[in-house]
């Protein structure tokens, strides 16, 4: 059972337009396979898409070398979600977590290092 205060998290996301606060439901990575992901891209600017790929690759390198966890801010069919986890691999279309759990890259809004 999730506690209410842990169910919602606010993260900052930096864009060329200043700071944007993103609110989403904090979930466990084991819940991801039960989620439904639309095929549409969530980011509209090419610069943000390129930045996302760079952050994903950096998070994977740090996850594999130092077991560093990151916060992945993503959107499924019902809304924004946040998961704290280690990124183990990346394909052209998916982020791979432990136990072969995957998140479509096109549904990721941001990666936060902490």
pLDDT score, position 2 = 37
Rounded to two decimals, the pTM is: 0.84
Under 8 Å between Cβ of 108 and 42: yes
- Residues facing 71 on adjacent strands: 84, 112
Under 8 Å between Cβ of 108 and 101: no
pLDDT score, position 98 = 93
From the list 17, 91, 25, 73, the residue with the least C-alpha distance to 47 is: 17
pLDDT score, position 10 = 45
Residues of the chain with pLDDT under 70: 1-22
Sign of the torsion formed by the C-alpha atoms of 105, 108, 113 and 114: negative
Under 8 Å between Cβ of 39 and 106: yes
pLDDT score, position 94 = 98
Q: What are the residue boundaries of the structural domains of the chain, listed by start?
A: 4-113
Token pair in block for residue 24 = 């989403």
């Amino acid at each position: 059972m999730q506690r209410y205060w842990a169910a919602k998290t606010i993260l900052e996301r930096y864009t060329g337009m200043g700071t944007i606060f993103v609110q989403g439901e904090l979930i466990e990575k084991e819940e991801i396979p039960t989620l439904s992901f639309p095929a549409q891209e969530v980011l509209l600017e090419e610069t943000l898409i390129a930045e996302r790929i760079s952050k994903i690759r950096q998070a994977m390198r740090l996850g594999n070398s130092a077991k560093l966890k990151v916060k992945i801010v993503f959107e499924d069919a019902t809304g924004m979600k946040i998961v704290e986890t280690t990124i183990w691999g990346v394909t052209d279309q998916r982020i791979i977590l432990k136990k072969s759990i995957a998140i479509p890259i096109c549904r990721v809004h941001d990666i936060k290092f902490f």
